[in-house]
């Protein structure tokens, strides 16, 4: 039997926005725990929790003060243990986030006597920063150290100083943090900015402005020596019973370089961002799938997460989003879902400026709206303003009042997006075998896996297809068979046949 993770569907929970149990308008671990039966019924295999550690929340918890404790906003370590026990009792795996590239500037190290060894300080060049590196969130990647004449590096917000992975104490500390969570029983870790830990020696200039943080060749990303860290961590993961896994959030210039993170003695999985970024065109999607399968024997697939525009909005319609989801869920490998995509939630594009919290918004001086629009709390039941997410009307981000028909409760109907996800995840459990492309009309992708055929119409017009079997599931209601026996696939639609 293949290891569990090779075909697992993992559901990403943005804890702040999932479910609030104490009425402060912010989701918490108790909320996650209370909704585990929902996830079980949905049919996922496991859950990945975004950071819930002690944090001033300047970057939604990716700015950590204490990696071994739960922020009071989210609960306590006891709440975490209870959540983990319940998840395991329901047969759900639990993955936590590990953030090794940086800490919060409120981490005790940043004001300790060791700060200059643990972080990256350099003298400036003239009046300016030490080099031309740009923060992923906009602006320079360096800020003036308030305690010396030097500058410190932060590839993200100024409140997130980058650690110096040349310092053995940093390596030891993160190995210990990894063990801390493995000892508590987690099934894996998702590694934040896994491609960022090691910087090119001498910190050379990138040489150009407008640095591409999503796969450009850069002196601060995807350096060969970063893999040493993952070889060490793989040994730690393998020293625990059960199959504990590591998943890289890594951006690399090529598919082959991305595959380096999942060599047999490194991590188990890496997020497939090229698939997420693919334009909605048959040749493009097929090329990404082929390239993925060529470079990675145990691939992953993803369409949405807490950093990108939700795929309903990105692809331009709910029809396409549903079609893309069924295409993804038919592919061999593991899939990552992001909370709310099973409800077909769109990106919220019109949040009031005053409500926005993503540092990208501030650092780009409002040029980038930031990522808050995909982090709006989940609508569970009933009515505005809180839709069962919280007892408080003042949720940390406002929920659009017109989301009533999108709530979990409102989608207990046969044709809802939620029902489609449930049925798809149920059928997916029986899927086996490698992918074989089949002939299909222009703009249509068709492949088989054993007795299943998956057909997707990526054009903007109706396409007639000859049913290769009985219809199992479709992303939309398909028009009744025509006299020729063909079936009409509307734009964006995917059908599964058997």
Q: Residues in the site for ligand GLC, rule: CB under 6 A? A: 59, 62, 99, 156, 192-193, 249, 306-307
Which among Ca ion, ligand GLC, none contacts residue 368 (Cβ within 5 to 8 A by kind)?
Answer: none
User: 324 CB contacts (<8 Å, ≥6 apart)?
Assistant: 280, 303, 311, 315, 456, 492, 494
DSSP string, 351-383: --GGG---HHHHHTTTSS--SGGG-PPPP-SS-
State which of residues 4, 7, 22, 76 lies at the interface with Ca ion (CB under 5 A). Answer: 22
3-state helix, strand, coil in the chain (%, to 5): 30, 15, 55
**What's the first-to-final CA gap in the chain, in angstroms?**
24
Torsions phi, psi of 452, nearest 5? -90, 140
- Identify what 372 binds: ligand GLC, Ca ion, none; CB under 5 to 8 Å per kind: none
- In the complex, the smallest distance separating the C-beta of residue 63 from ligand GLC, rounded to whole angstroms, is 7
Contacts of 182 (CB under 8 A, 6+ apart): 236, 237, 240, 244
Q: Is 272 exposed, middle or buried (0-12, 13-18, 19+ CB in 10 A)?
A: buried
* Among Ca ion, ligand GLC, none, partner that 376 touches (CB below 5 to 8 angstroms by kind): none
Residue 164 known to be catalytic: no
The first and second tokens of residue 357, run together, are 């919290």
Q: What is the 3-state secondary structure (H, E, C) of 53-113?
A: EECCCCCCCCCCCEEEEECCCCCCHHHHHHHHHHHHHCCCEEEEEECCCECCCCCHHHHCC
Question: What angle is formed at CA 62 by the lines to CA 92 and CA 115, rounded to 5 degrees?
Answer: 130
Pick from Ca ion, ligand GLC, none: which does 156 bind, CB < 5 to 8 A by kind?
ligand GLC
Stretch that binds Ca ion, among 16-24, 100-108, 116-124, 249-257 (CB under 5 A): 16-24
Please identify, using beta-carbon distances, which residue of 73 and 197 lies nearer to Ca ion.
73
Q: Does residue 307 belong to the site contacting Ca ion (CB under 5 A)? A: no
Q: Does 24 bind Ca ion (CB under 5 A)?
A: yes
Number of Cβ atoms within 10 Å of the Cβ of 176: 12
Catalytic site residue from 63, 164, 192, 319: 192
> Choosing among ligand GLC, Ca ion, none, which partner's interface includes residue 167 (Cβ < 5 to 8 Å by kind)?
none
Work out whether 20 is an interface residue with Ca ion (CB under 5 A). Answer: yes
Of the residues 20, 71, 222, 249, which is catalytic?
249
CB of 192 to ligand GLC, least distance (A): 5
Closest to ligand GLC by CB, 178 or 285: 178
Catalytic residue flag (residue 266): no
Toward ligand GLC, which CB reaches closer, 59 or 187? Answer: 59
- Find the binding residues for Ca ion in span 349-408 (CB under 5 A): none
User: Pick from ligand GLC, Ca ion, none: which does 254 bind, CB < 5 to 8 A by kind?
Assistant: none
Strand-pair partners of 144: 151
What residue is closest to ligand GLC based on CB?
A: 62
Residues 6 or more apart whose CB falls under 8 angstroms from that of 293 comprise: 299, 332, 435
Q: In this complex, which beta carbon is closest to ligand GLC, that of residue 187 or of residue 192?
A: 192
Binding site for Ca ion (CB under 5 A): 20, 22, 24, 26, 28
Residues designated as active site = 192, 249
């Amino acid at each position: 039997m293949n290891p569990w993770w090779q075909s697992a569907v993992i559901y990403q929970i943005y804890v702040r926005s999932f479910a609030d149990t104490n009425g402060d308008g912010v989701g918490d671990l108790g909320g996650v725990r209370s909704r585990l039966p929902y996830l079980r019924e949905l049919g996922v295999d496991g859950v990945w929790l975004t950071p819930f550690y002690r944090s001033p929340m300047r970057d939604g918890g990716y700015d950590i003060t204490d990696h071994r404790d739960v922020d009071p906003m989210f609960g306590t370590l006891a709440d975490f243990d209870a959540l983990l026990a319940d998840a395991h009792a329901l047969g759900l795996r639990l993955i936590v986030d590990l953030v090794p590239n940086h800490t919060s500037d409120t981490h005790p190290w940043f004001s300790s006597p060791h700060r200059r060894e643990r972080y990256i300080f350099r003298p400036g060049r003239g009046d300016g920063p030490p080099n031309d590196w740009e923060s992923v969130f906009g602006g320079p990647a360096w800020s003036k150290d308030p305690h010396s004449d030097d500058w410190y590096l932060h590839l993200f917000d100024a409140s997130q100083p980058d650690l110096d992975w040349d310092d053995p104490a940093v390596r030891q500390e993160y190995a210990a943090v990894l063990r801390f969570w493995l000892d508590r029983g987690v099934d894996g870790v998702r590694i934040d900015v896994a491609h960022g830990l090691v910087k090119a020696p001498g910190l050379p200039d990138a040489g150009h402005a407008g640095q591409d943080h999503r796969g450009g060749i850069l002196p601060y990303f995807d350096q060969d020596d970063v893999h040493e860290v993952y070889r060490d961590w793989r040994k730690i993961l393998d020293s625990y019973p059960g199959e504990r896994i590591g998943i890289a959030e890594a951006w690399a210039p090529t598919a082959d370089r991305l595959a380096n993170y999942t060599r047999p003695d490194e991590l188990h999985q890496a997020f497939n961002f090229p698939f997420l970024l693919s334009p909605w065109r048959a040749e493009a999607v097929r090329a990404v799938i082929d390239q993925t399968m060529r470079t990675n024997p145990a691939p992953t697939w993803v369409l949405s997460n807490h950093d990108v525009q939700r795929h309903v909005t990105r692809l331009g319609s709910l029809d396409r989003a549903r079609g893309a989801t069924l295409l993804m869920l038919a592919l061999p490998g593991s899939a990552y879902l992001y909370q709310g995509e099973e409800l077909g939630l769109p990106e919220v594009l019109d949040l009031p400026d005053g409500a926005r919290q993503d540092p990208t918004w501030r650092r780009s001086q409002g040029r980038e709206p930031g990522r808050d629009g995909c982090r709006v709390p989940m609508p569970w039941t009933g009515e505005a303003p809180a839709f069962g997410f919280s007892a408080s009307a003042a949720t940390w981000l406002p929920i659009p009042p017109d989301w009533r028909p999108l709530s979990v409760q409102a989608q207990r109907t046969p044709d809802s997006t939620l029902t489609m996800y449930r049925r798809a995840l149920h059928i997916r459990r029986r899927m086996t075998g490698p992918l074989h492309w089949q002939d299909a009309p222009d703009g249509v992708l068709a492949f088989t896996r054993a007795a299943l055929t998956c057909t997707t119409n990526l054009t903007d017009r109706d396409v007639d297809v000859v049913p290769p079997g009985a219809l199992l599931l479709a992303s939309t209601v398909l028009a009744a068979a025509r006299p020729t026996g063909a079936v009409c696939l509307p734009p964006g639609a995917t059908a599964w046949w058997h």
